[in-house]
Structure formats: structure tokens, C-alpha cells
Amino acid sequence: MESRSPSPAPSVFRNPEDSLARESDVTVSTNVTSYAEYKGFFIYVLSTLALLVYATWLLLPESYLALLGVYYYPSKYWAQAVPAYSLMLMLFIYIGLALYNTEVRTLPLDDPRSFTDEHAVYPDNPADYIHKTPSGVRDLPTPLVSEVLYM
């Protein structure tokens, strides 16, 4: 009896239509993960079962758990405390990263790096760009822009 493989047969990759793809710089992968849909379905069912067991342990009173034959289980405090602590930890990490990026990583307002960098392209004569259409993309010096706008 012939066993069928979920991956395509090797002869499929020898078609003449694939010659252009094989000559290009793009890597053509023949690595096919076997039975990926079965693994995904198993993980889905397992996680659903774990959620149901967790909800049963959390919501049922101890007398009903004893009727089900479950006598040893962790304290119900941890069933509520671990998710609550995890959510608060995520909130603190979010706020901490926002504060770090704002307070530490942001340049001060008087730092010259907040106005220009090493990639700036200045025109030969910046006065030619005042109230005229530029012929290309150029960076104008900040004092010149302030002078035109505010004086």
C-alpha cells in the first residue's frame, strides 16, 4: 500500500516553468512543514480545554469540585491574582516604556541635533529660496526660516 505524503512530490519542482524562479535571486524553499494543520488544531483544542478547566476551577464552589472527585488544587487566590498581576505588569511596562522614550530618549529642545543632522543638504544661496519655488529638495537653515516667518 502506498503512503501519501502531505508535501508535494519532488518531480513538481523540476517543471520548466520553475527555471526562471530558480535563476533569480529569490530563494525557493522546498521545506514543507508536515501536518501543520493537525498541530494547529491540536493546540487549539488543548488551549480550549485548559481554559475550560481553569474556568471550572475558578468558578465552581469547593463542594462541587469534591463531587467531581477533585480534592487537591491550588488556592483560588492565585486563580485571580496571577492574571491580575500579569495585567498590571503589562500596564506598568507600557507606561514605563512611554516614560523612558519621552524622558530619556528624546533630545532636549536646545540640542542642535533636533534641528539638523549630517544628511542635510543646504542650497548654495539660501536667499534664492525665499518666496520662490525651489528647483529641488533642499534644507533651509532654521534662522533663515524663522527670519522670514516671524520678522
pLDDT per residue as tens digits for the range 102-139 = 999 998 888 878 877 788 877 778 777 777 776 667 77
- At 120 the pLDDT is 80
Give the count of domains, the chain.
3
27 lies in a domain? yes
**Do 65 and 36 share a structural domain?**
yes
- At 143 the pLDDT is 81
Handedness of CA 143, 146, 148, 151 (dihedral sign): negative
**Do 33 and 61 share a structural domain?**
yes
Span 34-46, average pLDDT: 90
- At 27 the pLDDT is 63
Tell me the whole-structure pTM to 2 decimals.
0.45
115 lies in a domain? yes
CA distance 60 to 137: 69
**Do 119 and 133 share a structural domain?**
yes
Domain that holds residue 58: 19-70
List, in order, residues 6 or more apart from 129 with CB less than 8 Å away. Answer: 123, 138, 140
**Do 65 and 39 share a structural domain?**
yes
